Amino acid sequence: MASPTPPPKVRASSVPDPTRSGGASGQHPGFAAVLDPLPIPAAVVTRADEVPLVVLANPAFIERQLMPGDACELDRKLLAELISVASRNDSGKARRPWTSVDPVKTRRYDVTAARIELAGLEWPHFLVSLIDRTSEIETHDSFRRETMRDSLTGLPNRAGFEDIVETRLAEQGTDGRPAAPGFAIITLDIARFSQINECAGGVVGDELIITVARRLMGRVRKTDVIARIGGDEFAVFVPLRGTNERELSRIITRIRDIFVNPYRLSDLEIQIDGAIGIALSKPGLSDCANYIRQSQIALKRAKRTRQAEIYTPEELDKARRRFTLETELRKAIELDRLELYFQPLIDMSNGFVTGFEALARWKDPDYGMISPVEFIPVAEECGLIVPLGRWALDRACKVLNEWDARAGEVLPIKVSVNVSAAQFARDDIPNMVASILRANKTRPERLCLELTESVVVSDPARAAKVMSALRALNVSLAMDDFGTGYSNLAYLQQLPIDVLKIDRSFVTHMLKERDKVAIVRAILSLASALGMETTAEGIETLEIAQTLAALGCSFGQGYFYSRPVPADEAYDYMITRMG
């Protein structure tokens, strides 16, 4: 054995302390000089038969009760490891984090061992110092907790949810298998939340969110995780024992139940409903964000179908198509690849053409003909409806000019252009209309704008203001798809509406269903009472045209007269049917 016998263990302080220092043999006089200037707990340590030995410690080390045998003794194993690593390292240093199991307060330290280079030392000694990182780590942890938490409900937020779920998915049971062999991620959205928020105020909205959160917490199991991942959107992680449909449907029913009883908020009692989307786990896939996305896609469908929906991969295809549509539509608008078709509006009293509705068409080189029913909602969602709507109005005015030039006179016809609710909300419609009319030298009397009821429902006061401004320009206004929205008849008489367009769902098959005739009659008499004209959409047969004329409907539009056609064809149609 080559190693010399180390000194015996001593309890020592660099500050002379008769009770603790006790004049150790083998102590180098330089140790005190090393320890003295240190304000942090530090000790000189050496190794005896592979066992670490504290040779001298400073007062801070002793006060913190880090000495061997003391309450918070510095972990011997850790010390041994530090010394062994530091002896092998070129730098002569090693560092490890360590948590002291203090009976009063758990402390988190960074412990460093650094070899002491002093002349006359017979065997290696190390300066072991401890930096207390407790408050730093606590601050960091609480900050992290805060950023992972929704302050309103106290639930995890989206980031927190992903963090917890991914940790849970990585956990293994005692048998080494994943702790959650199957699971579902459920997203839940409160129906009409923004309306409630707007009408009843933000405080009530907050109260509703908190109450929903509370009810949810009462319904889920201990193993489930709930989070608030968006304004009125919650997510629930539900571990499943297997692909057990009954288990899932029981859970869904329990979640659904939170909407059974009305919500009492301040002095209101509201019955609310929610939509539920579900994504089921696939073996080997544990990306939480991806499951949330899938579940949200199913949620979108659930909002339409009003029942809980499970995500299917085809839906992703649809979502992807929507995304490609958005990119392609942007290109189509920029490259002027959209076309405007025209469908005649017929005066029911004499069969003459009085105008045309301009309808956008998109022929994509890859996708072929894409219906406005598909691309207008995409345009509305991504904001492209604003340039699209401006383009449609401008193009309609230009076509009117072309027709006038061809006929050699100002034709006695109007053009109707659709303005979607999203466009109405985002664009400065009166100014936009005025400037396009001015640019094309189009008389405002020749333009009718078709608005939908949703324009009025979402913000009645603003709608009234914008509509009056349009009326002041001398543009006429039609209420499109009338009868399909949340018609509040009270607003009708207050707004400057010239024409009610009866939605084609009431018209096309009206002769087969008595209810529909009754609705059409009601709309016609309402319009007449309010001094408005009427256009029936979706006239496909002569019988319907005759019935509507007999009922007193002013104008008709539909495949019976003509489908929407390109501008040239529309011109020819008009010339043969003009009064």
Can you give the binding site for Mg ion, defined by CB under 5 A?
Answer: 418, 450, 480-481, 537
- The three-state DSSP-derived secondary structure of 405-451 is HHHCCCCCCEEEEECCHHHHHHCCHHHHHHHHHHHHCCCHHHEEEEE
Closest CA to 234 of 246, 250, 219: 219
Least CB distance from residue 366 to Mg ion, whole Å?
A: 28
List the single partner that 538 binds among ligand C2E, Mg ion, none, CB under 5 to 8 Å by kind. ligand C2E
β partners of residue 355: 345, 414
List the single partner that 359 binds among Mg ion, ligand C2E, none, CB under 5 to 8 Å by kind. ligand C2E
The most distant pair of C-alpha atoms in the chain lies apart, rounded to whole Å, by 124
Provide CB contacts within 8 A for 23, sequence distance 6+: none
Least CB distance from residue 361 to ligand C2E, whole Å?
A: 7
Least CB distance from residue 559 to ligand C2E, whole Å?
A: 4
Residue nearest to ligand C2E (CB): 558
Spatial separation of the C-alpha atoms in residues 307 and 301, rounded to whole Å: 9
- The three-state DSSP-derived secondary structure of 171-237 is CECCCCCECCCEEEEEEEEECCHHHHHHHHCHHHHHHHHHHHHHHHHHHCCCCCEEEEEECCEEEEE
Least CB distance from residue 481 to ligand C2E, whole Å?
A: 5
Residue 13 or 418 having the CB closest to Mg ion: 418
Least CB distance from residue 373 to ligand C2E, whole Å?
A: 5
Residue 324 or 505 having the CB closest to Mg ion: 505
Least CB distance from residue 539 to ligand C2E, whole Å?
A: 6
| Residue labelled with tokens 């499970």 | 310
List the single partner that 558 binds among Mg ion, ligand C2E, none, CB under 5 to 8 Å by kind. ligand C2E
Provide CB contacts within 8 A for 449, sequence distance 6+: 416, 417, 418, 419, 429, 433, 470, 475, 476, 477, 478
Least CB distance from residue 358 to ligand C2E, whole Å?
A: 6
List the single partner that 548 binds among Mg ion, ligand C2E, none, CB under 5 to 8 Å by kind. none
Least CB distance from residue 455 to Mg ion, whole Å?
A: 13
Residue 421 or 492 having the CB closest to ligand C2E: 421
Within 10 Å of residue 559's Cβ, how many Cβ atoms? 14
CB 290 within 8 A of CB 187: no
Residue 72 or 532 having the CB closest to Mg ion: 532
List the single partner that 420 binds among ligand C2E, Mg ion, none, CB under 5 to 8 Å by kind. ligand C2E
| Residue labelled with tokens 């939170």 | 258
- The four Cα atoms 485, 486, 491, 493 give a dihedral, to 10 degrees, of 50
> DSSP secondary-structure letter at 9?
P
Applying CB under 6 A, the residues found at the interface with ligand C2E are 343, 359-360, 371-373, 376, 389, 392, 418-420, 423, 450, 480-481, 504, 508, 537-540, 557-559, 564
Spatial separation of the C-alpha atoms in residues 347 and 559, rounded to whole Å: 15
List the single partner that 354 binds among Mg ion, ligand C2E, none, CB under 5 to 8 Å by kind. none
List the single partner that 116 binds among ligand C2E, Mg ion, none, CB under 5 to 8 Å by kind. none
Residue 239 or 564 having the CB closest to ligand C2E: 564
List the single partner that 391 binds among ligand C2E, Mg ion, none, CB under 5 to 8 Å by kind. none
CB 183 within 8 A of CB 273: no
Residue 84 or 484 having the CB closest to Mg ion: 484
Kindly list the distances between the CA atom of residue 494 and the CA atoms of 43, 451, 459, in Å, as whole numbers in the listed order: 87, 15, 14
Residue 442 or 508 having the CB closest to ligand C2E: 508
Residue 68 or 485 having the CB closest to ligand C2E: 485
List the single partner that 453 binds among ligand C2E, Mg ion, none, CB under 5 to 8 Å by kind. none
Residue 42 or 477 having the CB closest to ligand C2E: 477
Least CB distance from residue 537 to Mg ion, whole Å?
A: 5
Within 10 Å of residue 340's Cβ, how many Cβ atoms? 23
Least CB distance from residue 274 to ligand C2E, whole Å?
A: 29
Least CB distance from residue 514 to ligand C2E, whole Å?
A: 21
* Helical residues (DSSP H) of 70-201, grouped into ranges: 76-88, 134-147, 158-170, 193-200
Provide CB contacts within 8 A for 93, sequence distance 6+: 86, 112, 113, 114, 115
Spatial separation of the C-alpha atoms in residues 98 and 132, rounded to whole Å: 10
List the single partner that 373 binds among Mg ion, ligand C2E, none, CB under 5 to 8 Å by kind. ligand C2E
Residue 112 or 557 having the CB closest to ligand C2E: 557
Residue nearest to Mg ion (CB): 450
β partners of residue 149: 156
Least CB distance from residue 169 to ligand C2E, whole Å?
A: 44
CB 55 within 8 A of CB 12: yes
List the single partner that 166 binds among ligand C2E, Mg ion, none, CB under 5 to 8 Å by kind. none
Residue 274 or 483 having the CB closest to ligand C2E: 483
Closest CA to 27 of 3, 51, 56: 56
Residue 335 or 373 having the CB closest to ligand C2E: 373
